[in-house]
Structures are given as C-alpha cells and as structure tokens.
Amino acid sequence: MEYSQIPGTDIKISKLAVGGMSFGKPAFKTYRWILDEDATDAMVQHALNLGINFFDTANVYGAGTSEEFIGRSLKKHQVSRSAVAIASKVYFNPGRLSREAINREIDGTLRRLGTDYLDLYIIHRFDYDTPIEETMEALNDLVVAGKVRALGASAMYGYQFQNMQHVAEKNGWHQFMAMENHYNLLYREDERELIPICKQDGVMLMPYSPLAGGHLTRPSWNSDSARSKTDTSARAKYDAAEEQDMPIIKRVDELAQQHGVKMSQIALAWQWAKGVTAPIVGATKRQYLDDAAAAMDIKLTPDEVAYLDEPYTAHEIVGALDQNPTDMLPKSVEN
C-alpha cells in the first residue's frame, strides 16, 4: 500500500479509501445490496490487512448504521484509533449545515463511531439556506474544540467551493483540505472548474464513484449483480449517458486486456494518473479490495491516459445540486 497525508496535517492516509455507503442496514430500497454488520466487520478487517487505513462514511449511510458498524468493527478487534483515518459527512439531515445541525450531527457521528474525534469532516453538499459564514464558523469551532482534525467538502460548483474557502480565509478560520467529488472516466465535468480550483489551492481529491457504479468494471452496460438490479441512485447518475459512454468503456476494456489486468484496475490507475490522492472504493466483496490495492502497481503512460480521455463528451451535471432537496434526500435515493 502507498500512503499520503491530508494536506496541512500529519494525518496519514492510504491512497485508497473504503466507502462506507456499502455498509449498514438498508434504510431505502435502492440500498438493498449493502452489507450487514458481520459482512462489514469482515470487509473492514480485510481492508486493514491490505494496509488500507482510510474509511469514508456519512451520517446518512444506512441511516447511521454504517458509522455504527465501522466503529464496532474497530472496537471489536482493538484497532488503535491512531492507526486509522476516519471521515464522515453532514448535510442530508434536518437543518442541513446550520450551526445547530452541525453541532448536533457531529456528536451523533462520534457517538455512533465510538470515537472522540474525526480525522476529516466533510460537508456532503452546498447548503443554499444557511449563510456560508455560519457554516464555516461552526466547522472551524469543531476543529478548535478537537472534535475534528481537518475539514472537507463534497460535490458542489466551483464558485461555491471557492466562496466558502474565501470566507474561511477572510475570517482566519480553518479551510477545506479535501474534496470528495463525483469523478471518473465517465463523468469529468469537474475538470472545468472545481478540480483546477482544488489543485490551485492544494486541496486533495478523494472522488466517490471512481468505478462509475460498476460500469467501469465490465465491458457491458448492465450486469446481474444485486446492486445493478436495485441501485436506482446509480441508474439516475449514469443510464442517460449510456450511448455516449460505451466507447470509453470499450477503451478501458482494451487497455485492461493489453496490461493483463482488470478493467476496474485501469479505471483506478487513471485516477492516480490524474492527480487524485485517494479514490473511494465501495466494495462488497474482499476481491474488490484486493483488485483495488493491486491497481497501485499499474502506471499508465501519458499516451494511454490521453487515449482513455479522448472519447469523452459533455455530460449533464450529476452530483452538485442546484437547490436543497425538498425532502432530506434526493428523489433518486428515496425510491
């Protein structure tokens, strides 16, 4: 395993993160494929055995049970808190990113994880209802209080991220040091503004969906997996662009055959070639983590990266929101 650090800190992170959305009790039909507590425990421990120490979850995953399962696995096996880096998120909750909501939700997250602090606290989306100043001051106060070691943000528009960073800088508050955005070979819209802003400001990239909900792991669009059949959220992200994305998938398959590796490994190698620090892999089988770890040995040439990049065409925005959802979650998740 290779390691890096969250910028501006001494927090050691593996260059792969384990996605906690794959763990917990399925609170919605679209997540019927996620792992129960025993399977989560096995997956967490397998990740640690591979040298993966970076875990990303959220207060909303499994309605909080993802955090509980991860926390109990670490406690059960007496894993030293300093040996792991844990990230969680806030936004899809009552009050969104208000001061009251942030203070309430961080305490709930820490309680469920069974820890006194988070290594990284991420705002899950941009909040259109709460003043930026209120959000950034509340987040800063968590760092000062020792409940959070570093701050991050997730999918949003570039100008929104820059505005939040500017408010923090102007007031001498802690800024975001990580961006968890939607980024993969089939969705690269953030290369226009958000990613250049992050790179300019030294903010690390830790994208979710690096394998595009499984589409970058097989030469065909659909599969017989439980997730492919039930994950309406993934379908909402990708199905509309199937025709324009299949040429990219064919090239991933072609390069995988040339290298004698799996398509998923080419897709992950592309992430690191693009300057990503730690793509988040949502694994439901040990083999998926084995494959992801082995992908670190694959070094794509600039010509190979260009070959994978070439067929891409503009996509509809998927990830950043134009307004807060009317309910707590987007409709694609509530199905």
Q: Which helix (H) or strand (E) holds 26?
A: none
Kindly list the distances between the CA atom of residue 56 and the CA atoms of 120, 197, 278, in Å, as whole numbers in the listed order: 9, 23, 11
Strand partners, 3: 14
What are the structure tokens assigned to 44, written together? 């967490």
Residues annotated as part of the active site: 61
- Complete DSSP assignment for 66-121: HHHHHHHHHHHTT--GGG-EEEEEE-SSTTTTSHHHHHHHHHHHHHHHT-S-BSEE
Measured from the Cβ of residue 110, the count of other Cβ atoms closer than 10 Å reads: 19
Give the SS3 label for residue 210: coil
Q: What is the DSSP letter of 316?
A: -
As a whole number of angstroms, the distance between CA 66 and CA 20 comes to 6
Shortest CA distance to 18 belongs to which of 30, 232, 41? 41
Count helices and strands in the chain by DSSP H and E runs: 13, 10
As a whole number of angstroms, the distance between CA 134 and CA 139 comes to 9
- Complete DSSP assignment for 266-292: HHHHHHHHTT-S-PEE--SSHHHHHHH
Strand partners, 56: 19, 87
